[in-house]
Amino acid sequence: MPTSYKILGWIGLSQALVLLLNGCGGGGVEGTAGTTPKSETLAVIANISTNFDSSEISIASAVSPYDVEEGYAGSDKSDIAVAVWGDYFYRLGKFGQDNITKYSFDRPGGVPEWQVSTNDPGKSLSNPYDILFVSETKAYVLRYGASSIWVVNPSDPEDFKIKEIDLSHYDDDGVPEMSAGVIVNGRLYVAMQRMDSTFAPDEAYVAVINTATDKEVNTFTDDAHYGIKLSIKNPHKLVAMDGFVYVVGSGRYATSSTPPDYTGGIEKINTSNYTHTQIIDDDLGTDHPYGLITDMAIVSSTVGYFKGSTGYKDDTLYRFDPSTGATYKSFIPGTSNTNLRALAVSPSGEIWIGIGGDNPGLVIASVVTEQRKKTIPVNKDPAQIVFIKVEKN
């Protein structure tokens, strides 16, 4: 079976057919590409224009010669994410779109399999952030703008939503801003930012869900909730590796009236007993050497990377040891004081880096030598990268 490394109420058959015939993607702009690279390991990339007025999806071979095809699922909306499972990739239309569209790798530029809304009846702005798969017939949709996770059947859009998992008790306004998730050993870990009325992050939590029962697990680490209260704030990515779930959070971003509060960093959760430790801190007293920590990639229990941001489009790549927290600036050329958009680790252990700006591209580098293996120019900024192994005929 294909394996991925890294939908929701049914909108009705007649509505779905209209969407499919008129072009999906949330903005009415259709992609034109129609083939995928001839590789059994693929990278699926969410590409966003520099001025945030359009988006598309690229598919690249995750092995040499790293061929890439661009132009899938084109849209005049830029707030998107991607997910993969089996023979399909998924486009998540986030804020103001509130939908997920399913595409086949066999015909990525053709008519989608379906598109479904993620809104509850009579509501809007559910803002789907991710879809995480247990099997071909069961997945979880994390909805940033809603109070509950949807448990869905991605193979059956007519009976798509199976049930809900309520997380409203984590926030006074009933919307805990679930931002990221990962499934490990029958447990779904869900990060929640818990924004206040001014959109400043409150104390963050990670809820743990038993994927067999769809019930929340009591981690016995906090008196107020079943979940894990983090030391860092504003979490936005989770990565599982060797018995731990790593969480990266950026803290509060600067605004016109307030500076950043440097409450972010990287924390790791032991999946056997839910104890957790902050291993990277963006606040070293009077010194903030990394700026805000806004992304990470974990290669192994001793090798990881994170992005430190000291300003808009002023990012630097750092290498660190997840077992100790020891950190130094990466030697990979062209990764200091530039526009870093995405970090991911391929199944073969290479680091993939999305570079934005006037000359957007994908940098593929060895984590052993910290040298570039290839740089691939692309049309739009690579904002997210996920990998999957597929069966090729």
- Band of the pLDDT at 285, cuts 50, 70, 90? confident
Q: What is the pLDDT of residue 3?
A: 41
pLDDT higher than 60, residue 11: no
Tell me whether residue 286 is exposed, middle or buried, using C-beta atoms within 10 angstroms of its C-beta: 0 to 12, 13 to 18, 19 or more: exposed
Give the predicted TM-score (pTM) of the model. 0.91
Tell me whether residue 325 is exposed, middle or buried, using C-beta atoms within 10 angstroms of its C-beta: 0 to 12, 13 to 18, 19 or more: middle
**Cα distances (Å, whole numbers) of residue 293 to 11, 164, 241, 286:** 38, 32, 19, 16
Computed over every residue of the chain, the mean pLDDT equals 92
- The Cα–Cα gap between 113 and 20 comes to 8
Q: What is the pLDDT of residue 393?
A: 61
Q: Which residue ranges make up each domain of the chain?
A: 1-166+385-393
Q: Which residues pair with 192 in a beta bridge?
A: 178, 205
Beta carbons within 10 angstroms of residue 94's beta carbon: 24
**Cα distances (Å, whole numbers) of residue 167 to 157, 191, 225:** 24, 11, 10
**pLDDT, tens digit, for every residue of 332-381?**
999 999 999 999 999 999 999 999 999 999 999 999 999 999 999 999 99
Cβ contacts of 15 within 8 Å, gap of 6 or more? none
**pLDDT, tens digit, for every residue of 70-121?**
999 999 999 999 999 999 999 999 999 999 999 999 999 999 999 999 999 9
